[in-house]
Structure 1
C-alpha cells in the first residue's frame, strides 16, 4: 500500500500580530474567589469576633500599612495575623473586602468608623470615596460634623470646601442644634473666608450666638472676632454691636468699635445720622469723651450735634 505525504502548508509574510486580552477583572474575580473559599490564604485579620483569612500579597500591593507590616520584622508578619484593636468590626471587614473587590458601601451612619479604618490602613481610595460622598450629602444639619471629619481624616481642600459651604449657608447653620459644637478655629476660618459681599450682620449674629453657647469660656474671644470681621455696616454696628454686653464689658472691644464708628466718611455720615436716637446718643457721647485723645472724633461730633 502506498501512503501519501500530506502537503506542507506554507505561510509567507513578515507581519506579526499582537493581541492583548483584558484580564485584570478576571484576575481580580479569581483572587476574590480564592479568598471566599479560603484557598491559598496565608494571613489573618482579626477584628472583634471576626477572623478574616486573606492573602499577604493582596494586602501588600493594596495598603502601605500592611506592606510595612509584612515586609519587616514586625511581630504580625511572624505570627501570621494582626489584631485590629479598638476598631469597628464592620468597617474593617468593609475595607478588607475593598482590597479584593474595589467596592465599598458608604453611609453617614458608618462613615466615621469607615474613615478611621481607612486612615489606619492608608487606603486613600476609600478616603476619596468617603470625601465625595460627604460633599454630595452635605446640608446645613450635618456640615459641622462633616467639617470635623474632614479635619481629622481627609484633606485640606475638603475642609475649605466645607467651610465655604458653611459661610454660604451661615444664616441657616446658626439655627441648627450642632452650631454650638463648632470649634473656635473653625468659626475663625468661616469668618476669614468672608468677602466684601458677605453679610456682616449674619457673621456677627453667628459670633454672638456661638459665644452665648458657653459664655464662661468663650466671651474672651469677642475681641479677636471683632478684629476678624473688621468692617461692619453701620446698621449692624447700631443694631447689634454697640449694645452687645460682651463688647461693652471690654475696654479693648469698645475702643475697636468706637474707632470704626468715628471713622465717618461722607458715605457713612447720612447712615449714622439716621440711626441716632436718645439711647445710643448718650452712649456715643460718652465714647467721644473717652476716646477723644486716641481717635479724631471731630467729624463724629459734628454728626452728633448737627
Structure 2
C-alpha cells in the first residue's frame, strides 16, 4: 500500500540535512578541476590606454590569486605568482590591482589576447579566462605622387603633397618630421617646388593628451636613371701617351721624316728650275 505524499513530512529536515551534506562533499571534491566561463565579453581598449581585469564573482574564501597569459595556467606564461611576484610573462607594465585584479598600463597590440586568473580558495582551485582586444590607432599617409614601396619619386621643381588622416577622436594635433626633425603642422604638408634640400624621410605624428601615434615613414627621392650596366663606356677621343725611350725614338723618327720631306721638296724644286733653264 502506497503512502500519501505527505506521509514522510516528519522526516523532511533529516533528508534536507543529508542532501546539503552531499552537496558540500561534492563541492569539495570537484571544484579543483573546474573552470568557470569568462565573466564578461572581451574588453576593447585602444593602444596606449590602460586595462583593468577584475577577479570575477566575490572573493569570499579566496586565499590567493595568480595571473597567466593565454588560456592555460603555465609556468612560462606567469604574470604574477600566488605570492604576487612577477613571472616570465611579466612585461613591466602589469601591476596587481585591488582585490586580486590585474592592471595593465600603456596597452600595445602585443597585449591583446586571453588572460587566465587562478583562484586558490578554501574549497579548491578555480580558473577564469578574460580576453582583451586592443584597437590600434591608425595614422594613414596619402601622397601625391603616389608612393611605391614607401618611396615618392619626383622631378625637381615639381610639387609634392603629403596628407595625414587619423581615426583618433577628438581631433589630435598633427605635426610632421623631416629626417627626424620638426617640419610644420597641420593635416597637409605641401612642397611646392621640390629641391634637393627637400629629399629625405617624412613622417606624420598625431598627438592627443599624453598619447602619440605616428604614420609609416615615406622617402622623397628623385626618379631613378635607367642605365644598361652591360654597356661599356666608349672614349670618343683616345689619346696615345708615350714616355721614356719610346718618346725619344718617336721624336727622332719624326725629325728624320721631316728632313726627308724637306730634302725631297728641295730636290723637286731644283729639277723644276733645271727644266725651265733648259727650255729657255
Shorter-chain TM band: under 0.3
TM-score (norm 1): 0.20
TM-score (norm 2): 0.22
Higher relative contact order (Cα pairs below 8 Å, separated by 6+ residues): 2
